[in-house]
């Protein structure tokens, strides 16, 4: 047995089902070992796509997704997806090939110090410098990647080490015991919550990672406290719940901003600062904050909790609930915002103008998708509309790259989502800019049999940057480009292609596309004049709660 074979055995021991990546000279021994493995190697068209697939696999399952590249340019291509997973709290293990240790001391073809390169974008990384340490490196990699807060780790395997003979066995995994918050912090939190006049809950992605959405919903319901979620916290409470204030995180003011401006207590549950900077909702640092999370709060001058309840989130919420009493309190003022929020959402239900408004496109998408279906949003102007208007009944049914906000995320992510949930409908929502960054992975989707729908918000430019330029300078520059015929492009790849010619076309086309046994692409022109209209409306918003 060589080191590569032992490495693969260790990956099998960790429960790895898929490895996403590209073959290369320096990972040949790993690929050879995978031929007789229970692990399915999925050959992608670009290393960035492989990393995004591992990223989304980790987010949806809680088990580290694994991606593989060769050295040099293969490894640098991998980095964007690795950084995305790390900032978004998705467990991921990246494995790179490397030159032999006998070539590292001299200038060598395609050699980069990958351990140094990956250090800023991972929780931990290590080179396997001796064959016998492979089991320890792999076990630690998965433990670190999957321990709260999850993130990316990196293993570097030199080609001469991979080929060396070795004896050894995978290490047993063991189980991590839950940790529980102190009764002192629970009692303090319960007392403050009982006294607050206008509390509001900020639900983040940590709640989803901890499978604590049911506990959060019960907590909010029994204490009658409204809930706003971050972009990555969609589904922490069903959007149909009467206490749900939907999504916060737009850089412009919105109805929900009024709730944070008037609150006297924010209960941040499973909230990571990277999801939505506290300087946006607590710029003066004057709002009282209770932090409920699996790990202590990060340091930020606008996020200084008066109490930190650190431990298993579901248990913490249940314990606080038993001690808090808000039976004599009036309904928090922020609840009055819900009527305005819903009215704003519903006003697009019957809009038939074309090009289609982004709000209408997303409204119709929500009508077609079922509660368990999964939408993956790319990054661009459409992401802001998806964050604001696509609402979720359940966690992990709308995934958005937000910490790193990397374009090209949606199509690879949809492939991973379909592998994880083959019975669910999956839709990738992307702009024309993001689509062209990783559309080659649609061939991967076709080859491995993952049928999903890609909806292109087509505006012929980098719409989000144009939005920012218009807001700041009153004009735009350098953001327009040409596009191929997306329908013909899809058909040339063996996919189904559709073009929306009127607003009424969209729902029938989407339903047809979702029924196809192969991936489908829907090209839809959007009216991004709505971007500036929203900014103008937000600027005129007068809070009266």
Does 149 lie in the same domain as 47?
yes
SS3 533: helix
Task: State how far the Cα of 55 lies from the Cα of 2, in Å rounded to an integer.
Answer: 29
In order, the DSSP letters of 272-335 are: -GGGS-HHHH-TTS-S-EEEEESSPPPPBTTB--SEEEES-HHHHHHHHHHH---TTSPPPGGG
How many domains would you assign to the chain? 3
| Nearest Cα residue to 462 out of 475, 474, 478, 473 | 478
Task: State how far the Cα of 23 lies from the Cα of 286, in Å rounded to an integer.
Answer: 54
DSSP H stretches of helix in 410-499 = 410-420, 432-438, 441-448, 463-473, 486-492
Does 187 lie in the same domain as 83?
no
Give backbone dihedrals phi and psi of 292, rounded to 5 degrees, phi first.
Answer: -120, 115
Tokens 């209209």 locate to 533
Does 17 lie in the same domain as 49?
yes
Using CB atoms within 10 Å of the CB of residue 421, give its burial: 0 to 12 exposed, 13 to 18 middle, 19+ buried: middle
Sign of CA dihedral 301, 306, 310, 314: negative
Question: Which pair of structure tokens corresponds to residue 101?
Answer: 């240790």
Instruction: Quote the domain boundaries for residue 516.
Output: 347-536
The tens digit of pLDDT for each residue in 349-402 reads: 999 999 999 999 999 999 999 999 999 999 999 999 999 999 999 999 999 998
Among residues 334, 357, 382, the one where a domain terminates is 334
Torsion of CA 276, 282, 287, 293, to 10 degrees: 20
- The pTM of this model reads 0.96
The tens digit of pLDDT for each residue in 265-297 reads: 999 999 999 999 999 999 999 999 999 999 999
Question: Which pair of structure tokens corresponds to residue 12?
Answer: 């099998």
Does 317 lie in the same domain as 353?
no
What mean pLDDT comes out for the span 407-427?
A: 98
Q: How confident is the model at residue 110 (pLDDT cuts 50, 70, 90)?
A: confident
Q: How confident is the model at residue 124 (pLDDT cuts 50, 70, 90)?
A: very high
Contact 115, 125 (CB under 8 A): yes
Does 29 lie in the same domain as 146?
yes
Torsion of CA 191, 196, 201, 202, to 10 degrees: -100
Does 406 lie in the same domain as 465?
yes
What is the CATH classification number for the domain harbouring 296?
Answer: 3.40.50.1220
Does 359 lie in the same domain as 322?
no
Q: Does residue 342 fall inside a structural domain?
A: no
Q: What's the whole-number average pLDDT of the chain?
A: 94
Does 215 lie in the same domain as 290?
yes
Among residues 163, 192, 219, the one where a domain terminates is 163
Does 17 lie in the same domain as 150?
yes
The tens digit of pLDDT for each residue in 499-532 reads: 999 999 999 999 999 999 999 999 999 999 888 8
Q: How confident is the model at residue 535 (pLDDT cuts 50, 70, 90)?
A: confident
Does 296 lie in the same domain as 328?
yes
Residue 539 has pLDDT above 80, yes or no: no
Q: How confident is the model at residue 544 (pLDDT cuts 50, 70, 90)?
A: low
What stretch of H or E contains 456?
Answer: strand 453-458
pLDDT of residue 258: 84
């Amino acid at each position: 047995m060589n080191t590569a074979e032992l490495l693969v055995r260790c990956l099998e021991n960790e429960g790895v089902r898929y490895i996403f990546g590209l073959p290369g000279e320096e990972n040949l021994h790993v690929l050879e070992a995978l031929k007789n493995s229970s692990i399915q190697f999925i050959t992608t068209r670009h290393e960035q796509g492989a990393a995004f697939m591992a990223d989304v696999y980790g987010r949806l399952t809680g088990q580290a997704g694994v991606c593989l590249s060769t050295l040099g340019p293969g490894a640098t291509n991998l980095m964007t997806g690795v950084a995305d997973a790390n900032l978004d709290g998705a467990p991921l293990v990246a494995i790179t090939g490397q030159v032999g240790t006998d070539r590292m001391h001299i200038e060598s073809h395609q050699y980069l110090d990958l351990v140094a390169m990956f250090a800023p974008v991972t929780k931990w990384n290590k080179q396997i410098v001796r064959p016998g340490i492979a089991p320890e490196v792999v076990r630690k990699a998965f433990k670190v990647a999957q321990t709260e807060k999850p993130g990316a780790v990196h293993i570097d395997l030199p080609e001469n080490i991979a080929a060396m003979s070795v004896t050894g066995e995978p290490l047993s995994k063991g189980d991590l015991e839950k940790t529980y918050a102190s009764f002192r912090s629970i009692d303090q939190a319960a007392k403050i919550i009982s006294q607050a006049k206008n509390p509001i809950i900020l639900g983040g992605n940590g709640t989803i990672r901890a499978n604590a959405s049911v506990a959060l919903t019960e907590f909010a319901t029994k204490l009658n406290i409204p809930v706003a979620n971050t972009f990555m916290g969609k589904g922490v409470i069903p959007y149909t719940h009467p206490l749900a204030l939907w999504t916060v995180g737009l850089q412009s003011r919105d109805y929900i901003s009024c709730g944070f401006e008037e609150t006297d207590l924010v209960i941040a549950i499973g909230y990571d600062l990277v999801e939505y900077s506290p300087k946006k909702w607590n710029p003066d640092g004057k709002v009282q904050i209770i932090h409920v999370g699996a790990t202590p709060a990060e340091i930020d001058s606008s996020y200084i909790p008066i109490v930190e309840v650190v431990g298993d989130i579901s248990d913490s919420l249940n314990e606080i609930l038993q001690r808090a009493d808000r039976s004599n309190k009036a309904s928090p003022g922020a609840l009055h915002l819900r009527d305005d929020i819903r009215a704003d959402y519903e006003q697009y239900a019957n809009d038939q103008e074309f090009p289609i408004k982004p709000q209408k496109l997303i409204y119709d998408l929500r009508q077609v998708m079922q509660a368990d279906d999964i939408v993956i949003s790319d990054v661009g102007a459409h992401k802001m509309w998806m964050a604001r208007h696509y609402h979720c009944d359940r966690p992990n049914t709308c995934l958005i790259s937000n910490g790193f906000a990397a374009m090209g995320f949606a199509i690879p992510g949809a492939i991973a989502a379909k592998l994880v949930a083959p019975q669910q409908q999956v839709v990738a929502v992307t702009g024309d800019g993001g689509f062209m960054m990783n559309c080659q992975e649609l061939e991967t989707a076709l080859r491995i049999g993952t049928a999903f729908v890609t909806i292109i918000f087509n505006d012929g430019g980098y719409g989000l940057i144009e939005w920012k330029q218009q807001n700041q300078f009153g004009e735009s520059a350098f953001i327009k480009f040409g596009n191929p015929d997306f329908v013909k492009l899809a058909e040339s790849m063996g996919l189904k292609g559709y073009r929306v010619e009127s607003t009424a076309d969209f729902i029938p086309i989407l339903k047809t596309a979702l029924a196809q046994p192969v991936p489908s692409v829907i090209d839809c022109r959007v009216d991004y004049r709505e971007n500036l209209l929203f900014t103008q409306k937000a600027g005129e918003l007068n809070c009266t709660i």
